[in-house]
Structure 1
Amino acid sequence: MKHRTLDQLHSVADVNPLSRLTTRAEKIERWAELLDRNPSRCLTALTTTEHVHLDIREEAREAGSPLTVAFEDPLLRVSGLQSDTYGEAKRFFELSDWQLHEIVCSCHVGTTMPAGWAAGRVRRIITGNGILAWLRSRFVH
């Protein structure tokens, strides 16, 4: 291991040791941004999450899934994301089973999905969809 000063690290990486995402919205938006960086990236879906027993669902993971994209990010890891499992994503992003199912389950897209599609699903958690989101956009600023 080669020791470097903080100034040297800044020349090769975006380093901010105090930076942590603290709110649910910040974490979810970061995840969406990561997915949008390569919107055509082919990601793996998790298989029928709604039909898997709860104990097994909590440990479910697929290499190359939208959850993997989140876990690959140093900022999300330093903010507390511990793995790319379904249960950890549910805990860290403060999602319901239904919300996470909408993002990662194969029943919506088949075995793979483009990262941009997943990013849109992630953002809908914050913005909502349908008539309620439209009303919110019209009356809440």
Structure 2
Amino acid sequence: MKHQSIDQLKVIAEVHPDAPPAPLTRSERLHRWADLLERQRDRRLATLHGTEYQPPERRAEMRSPDSPLSVAFEDPILRSDGLGGDTYGEAKRYFELTDWQLHEIVCYCHLGETMSAASAAKRVRSAMNAGRGGWFARLRHALSG
């Protein structure tokens, strides 16, 4: 591929340097979230209580200040890409996670009241790799919605 300057490209193409960036893919969004958490490895983050026991409407509204979800929402790039808040439901929608995957990342039952950002990052990376497991893992993922 030949490198060309912006001025050279303007001769052969219409260049829009102020055009908005393309939306991030699911993989890019999750990767960025994990990276943000890893940059603050020792930061203690709040968990959410009993996500699996809440009715869907209540679960979608769940949030906790200083949680792994709030770390994602603090990021201007994720917000400009469409992350609209730090609630469970918004994270599920934006990161395209199942309830099972998000439960594994933020629920109290796995790590207690708080978790390290490094631990949350590992859980986000695990969600990125979901679906690469064997037949049973794919079945569990499909059934958990």
In the superposition, the TM-score normalised over structure 2's length comes to 0.75
Equivalent residue number for residue 3 of structure 1: none
Equivalent residue number for residue 88 of structure 2: 86
Equivalent residue number for residue 72 of structure 2: 70
Question: In the aligned structure 2, how far is the partner of 1:103 from the partner of 1:31?
Answer: 12
Partner SS, residue 40 of structure 1: coil
Residue 17 of structure 1: how far off its partner (Å): 7.3
Question: In the aligned structure 1, how far is the partner of 2:20 from the partner of 2:40?
Answer: 27
Residue 125 of structure 1: how far off its partner (Å): 1.2
Residue 63 of structure 1: how far off its partner (Å): 0.2
Equivalent residue number for residue 52 of structure 1: 54
Q: Select 1:122's aligned residue among 115, 121, 124.
A: 124
**Any unmatched runs of 5+ in structure 1?**
1-15, 133-141
Question: In the aligned structure 1, how far is the partner of 2:22 from the partner of 2:44?
Answer: 28
Equivalent residue number for residue 29 of structure 1: 31
Partner SS, residue 81 of structure 1: coil
Partner SS, residue 61 of structure 1: coil
Equivalent residue number for residue 101 of structure 2: 99
**Identical-pair percentage:** 52
Residue 18 of structure 1: how far off its partner (Å): 3.2
Residue 80 of structure 1: how far off its partner (Å): 0.2
When residues 127 and 89 of structure 1 are mapped into structure 2, their CA distance, relative to the original with a 3 A threshold, is: same
**Any unmatched runs of 5+ in structure 2?**
1-17, 135-145
Equivalent residue number for residue 112 of structure 1: 114
Moved more, 16-25 or 120-129: 16-25
Partner SS, residue 42 of structure 2: coil
Runs (4 or more) in structure 1 with deviation over 6 Å come to none
Residue 101 of structure 1: how far off its partner (Å): 0.1
Q: How many residue pairs align between the two structures? A: 117
Question: In the aligned structure 2, how far is the partner of 1:110 from the partner of 1:119?
Answer: 16
Equivalent residue number for residue 7 of structure 1: none
